[in-house]
């Protein structure tokens, strides 16, 4: 098939690839318990192509055989599938809005209701940059407040390697390039080889754990949920299911922050606060 040509959907090769793709996903589900069959086909195929190269497999059929011989490969594929490029304070405008508007408003509402804690969930937290950024912002906001609200930030992912990095909380100089210099001095400790480590007072605010949004149980109700650049991997049916799930996870008038290319399709679930900042409020 020439470059740029459209695949023949009736060809034997195409049908064989689709059948073997299904078998690959079933095998991965057997080993890891993670069901990727509702991810976008284009996403799955791009990730499989990476593992074909890494394992020197020449076809889906060869890769399936490799999976069966090497159970650990299923976890490697899952890590590649769930990899999410992230930075501290990624999309600065969003974090500016969180600091100046969303979080202060939430904290005021919580205090007015005589509640003692704020609960936040970072879904797809990768190496921990997002939840630690939130913890830093909240620490900055809370230092000017007299009340002593408890900050609880749940941070979850299905990528176990990324979670290990998040728990280490150690980052290279290039990985903290977006951290304001004042924050770097206040909330990080410099370590050898030009590295930086999050200080304990910030780390203790973040609860890291493995969690599969698709199959996982609820972690309770939250005031704020960040789920950025995850829905782009799901097919439309799964997107709708997950938006309903997140709606249930949010407290009354809870806030949802999405990625730049993500929008809830059901207007009965969320009211758009700012399309520019990709922020939404739960509707009842």
Q: Residues 53, 173: one domain?
A: no
Query: Which one, of 211, 212, 125, 138, lies nearest residue 169 by Cα?
Result: 125
Are 100 and 32 in the same domain?
no
Q: Using CA atoms in the order 105, 150, 125, 251, what is the torsion angle rounded to 10 degrees?
A: -50
Domain coverage including residue 104: 92-282
Q: Which helix (H) or strand (E) holds 210?
A: strand 206-210
The model's pLDDT over 206-223, given as tens digits with 9 standing for 90+, comes to 999 999 898 888 899 999
Strands 222-227, 270-274: parallel, antiparallel or unpaired by DSSP?
unpaired
Predicted confidence band of residue 5 (pLDDT cuts 50, 70, 90): very low
User: Domain containing 125 — which CATH number?
Assistant: 3.40.50.150
CA 179 to chain centre: 20
pLDDT tens column, 81-124: 766 668 899 989 999 999 999 999 999 999 888 899 999 999 99
CA distances from 177 to 53, 85, 114, 219 (A): 32, 14, 39, 32
**Widest CA span in the chain:** 70
- Tell me: pLDDT of 4 over 60: no
1 within a domain of the structure (yes/no): no
Q: Is residue 141 part of a domain?
A: yes
* Number of domains present in the structure of the chain: 2
Number of Cβ atoms within 10 Å of the Cβ of 132: 27
């Amino acid at each position: 098939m020439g470059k740029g040509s459209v695949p023949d959907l009736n060809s034997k090769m195409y049908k064989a690839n689709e059948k073997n793709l299904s078998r690959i996903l079933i095998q991965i589900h057997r080993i890891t318990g993670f069901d990727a069959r509702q991810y976008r086909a284009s996403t799955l195929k791009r990730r499989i192509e990476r593992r074909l190269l890494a394992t020197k497999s020449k076809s889906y059929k060869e890769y399936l055989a490799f999976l069966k011989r090497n159970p650990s490969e299923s976890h490697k594929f899952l890590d590649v599938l769930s990899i999410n490029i992230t930075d501290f304070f990624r999309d600065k405008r969003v974090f500016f809005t969180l600091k100046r508007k969303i979080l202060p408003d939430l904290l005021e509402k919580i205090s007015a209701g005589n509640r003692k804690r704020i609960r936040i969930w970072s879904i797809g937290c990768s190496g921990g940059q997002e939840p630690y950024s939130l913890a830093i912002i909240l620490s900055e906001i809370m230092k000017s407040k007299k009340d002593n609200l408890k900050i609880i930030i749940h941070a979850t992912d299905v990528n176990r390697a990324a979670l290990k990095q998040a728990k280490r909380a150690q980052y290279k100089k290039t990985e903290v390039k977006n951290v304001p210099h004042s924050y770097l001095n206040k909330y990080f400790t410099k370590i050898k080889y030009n590295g930086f480590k999050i200080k304990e007072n910030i780390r203790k605010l973040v609860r890291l754990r493995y969690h599969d949004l698709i199959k996982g149980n609820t972690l309770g109700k939250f005031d704020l949920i960040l789920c950025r650049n995850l829905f782009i991997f799901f097919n439309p049916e799964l997107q709708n299911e997950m938006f309903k799930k997140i709606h249930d996870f949010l407290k009354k008038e809870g806030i949802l922050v999405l990625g730049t290319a993500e929008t809830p399709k059901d207007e009965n679930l969320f009211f758009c606060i700012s399309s520019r900042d990709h922020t939404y409020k739960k509707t009842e």
